[in-house]
Amino acid sequence: MSGAQLRIGMRRTRLRIELLPKKIRKAKATRTFLTSLDESSKANARVRDLDIILSKISTYKHDPSMEGRISGIKETRESNLQAARRQTNTLQKEHIPRITEKDLSVPKLQKRLNRTTKQLITAINGRLPMVLKNSNNFRELHLLRINCKRLRYLAELFRSKKTARLLLRL
């Protein structure tokens, strides 16, 4: 599994947990799992950030004076990669809370799904005009992209004829 697939899987898992009933979301086992998931996500993000930096540096003309810095970044990346692997292994060993069918109520899940969907659409509609007006507003653009991804993950989770059209637009 690539790093990108791992990060996507983590984000989808977090979103699915957010859709669960409050009793399950607030359970100690779920919170412990989410904490481990967050730590693993952060560790993998640090590696990704260094990969991006190294990729950007590689586009510039070779400069011998930068070799020391580049090797330092590579060493940092390698140590962060080892830490991310350890954290991901810890996450894989983490106890995943058991959820039975009786724990889930279709009307409550539907209500939670609708609420989450409305919140994401509201956030997207609020951020879109700001980003269109000022494309240099990187923070809002970043948050807009996150909201769009989360909405796409929701639509993929509950595929139907309605969501198929939405997925094509996303």
pLDDT in tens, 3-12: 788 888 899 9
**Sign of the CA dihedral 58, 64, 69, 70?**
positive
8 A C-beta contact, residue 120 and residue 29: no
For residues 113-142, average pLDDT: 93
The residue ranges of every structural domain in the chain are: 1-101, 105-170
10 Å Cβ neighbour count for 144?
Answer: 19
Please report the pLDDT score of residue 77 as a whole number. Answer: 94
Q: Name the band, by pLDDT with cuts 50, 70 and 90, for residue 102.
A: confident
pLDDT in tens, 51-89: 999 999 888 888 888 888 889 999 999 999 999 999 988
Six token digits for residue 142? 């970043």
